[in-house]
Structure 1
Amino acid sequence: MRRGTRYGALLGPLLAGGAPPDLVERAARGLGLPVRGRYAVVVLAAPVPEGAEAEGAEADGTRWYWCDSRDGYGVENGYGDGHVVVVLLGAVGAAGAVARLTERGAGPGGMSPVVGSLAELGAARRLAGTALLTCAPGTREVVRLDERLSTALLVSRPELSARLLTEVFGPLLALVPAERAVLVGTLEAWLECGGSVGRAAVRLRCHRNTVFNRLRRLERLTARSLSRPRELVDLVLALDVLRLSSGPT
């Protein structure tokens, strides 16, 4: 990974979006980058830990260009102390780049979908910022937008997200926090275990009937059934809103 003051000067107009072709060509020449290639943008909400920005290109050909988000084209919605990273992807692809950042404790952060040219960095930067907003409070995760599309829709429309949470989880939110946490945690475990009550019981270290009873109570409180696909979607989306608003349960 590499960082320098000239990266922001050359990449800033591209990250802001709408850069004319001559500025795209100038950035490509100045940084030795192809105009067309497999690029992604990462938006990081906080300064990276010391040593996270290693010098040089990766062995697989991945190249990193770090820019300070405080230069004005960085993070929206209150995130202003981190970095924007332009990545020319190598053989490991986007998943490998995210893994590298995660290993170095560089989160929370969001990665854009892969784009095909430097001219698309502005759109990629905006999408990376949306991906960042899907990270739960207090986490250090780095996430790809392509793996968080439904949650990204929620954070893009906060007024509808708030309405969804109230409509679906209203009675649940009225419970005392400890009681609510038990039901929410059971739902999360059941979903992570592929809808298996037995596997969820093992994970939660309780009897399967306990899991079953908790889920039935959650269904009664929300007036939604886990066996009806559309109602299950409501529950899953409301759970995402709750996770983003309150952090891990």
Structure 2
Amino acid sequence: MRQRGNERGWALLDALLDNETGPGLAALTATVLGLPEAGRYAVAVMAPRGCPGPVRRTTGAHGLRFLWRPRQDREIAVVALGEADPAAAAAHLTDRVPGPGGVSPAVEGLADLGRARRLADAALLTCGPGRADFVCLDGRIPAALVAGQPTVSAHLATDVFGPLLAREPADRALLVSTLDAWLECGGSAGRAAVRLCCHRNTVLNRLRRLEELTSRSLSRPRELVEVVLALDAVRVLPGGGAV
């Protein structure tokens, strides 16, 4: 009877994760699995590793509770957050589970698990080749939008960075690292120069070279958006190349 109850509970949880709705579905799932219906939750997803393992429950720091639901196409963890945030769940998983993986923002209640699972899938798409950690969607939404539209994004990457990608790897890496530093420093060439241990004019000269190669001006907001999205596309799309 206990086994049947567990199987019923996992089936109900699957229905919520697949975004099925119905009167009392969340409440029934909460009762069968012993979960708070209105608690704070996140969902983590990762690629499957061989045959699906057993369903299980684990705990972590900060009061985190994990309900693992392996599937053929992905492995899913429903995370009861308590007072923690999704970043704590991502850090816990990175330390203990082979990635890459994506973690959704927090949702309020079991009824929102389907939306959380889709957001976690979007976060997973932003993990480029060679990445092995778990990433939160928050802060990576532009990259998730790019990864979700691979055909358009691949065209944008080629259109913006085609000439740059044709250059020598060392020169390409130098220009892109300068762009990264400039973006992280809020568009300040002086602060970027400190970070890169070079002169401010060196930063400006490299950015001008980048503008020439991309045919985009970093001082025009729309063209800057194209450059940033194209950079995300190169990094997250399969076969996008290294920059």
Residue 203 of structure 2 corresponds to which residue in structure 1? Answer: 211
**Which residue of 95, 109, 131 maps to 2:101?**
109
Tell me, yes or no, if structure 1 residue 44 matches structure 2 residue 39.
Answer: no
Extract unaligned runs of 5+ from structure 2.
Answer: 1-5, 50-55
Contact 1:46–1:107 (Cα < 8 Å) also in 2: no
Distance 1:44 1:21 in 2: 30
Extract unaligned runs of 5+ from structure 1.
Answer: 48-53, 71-79
Contact 1:137–1:247 (Cα < 8 Å) also in 2: no
Contact 1:46–1:108 (Cα < 8 Å) also in 2: no
Contact 1:43–1:111 (Cα < 8 Å) also in 2: yes
Residue 122 of structure 2 corresponds to which residue in structure 1? Answer: 130
**TM-score, normalisation: structure 1:** 0.80
Change (3 A) 1:99 1:59: closer
**TM-score, normalisation: structure 2:** 0.82
Q: What do you get for the CA RMSD once the two structures are aligned? A: 2.7
Residue 3 of structure 2 corresponds to which residue in structure 1? Answer: none
Instruction: Tell me: higher relative CO, structure 1 or 2? Use CA pairs within 8 A at least 6 residues apart.
Output: 1
Distance 2:147 2:102 in 1: 13
Report how far residue 130 of structure 1 moved. 1.0
Aligned residue pairs: how many? 231
Runs of 4+ in 1 over 4 A off after TM superposition: 5-8
Tell me, yes or no, if structure 1 residue 163 matches structure 2 residue 155.
Answer: yes
Report how far residue 132 of structure 1 moved. 0.6
The within-5 A match list for 1:1-249 is 6=7, 8-45=10-47, 47=49, 56-58=58-60, 60-70=62-72, 80=73, 83-245=75-237, 246=240, 249=243
Report how far residue 236 of structure 1 moved. 1.0
Distance 2:71 2:149 in 1: 24
Contact 1:193–1:200 (Cα < 8 Å) also in 2: yes
110-119 or 131-140, larger mean C-alpha shift: 110-119
Distance 2:241 2:41 in 1: 31
Contact 1:136–1:248 (Cα < 8 Å) also in 2: no
Change (3 A) 1:179 1:59: closer
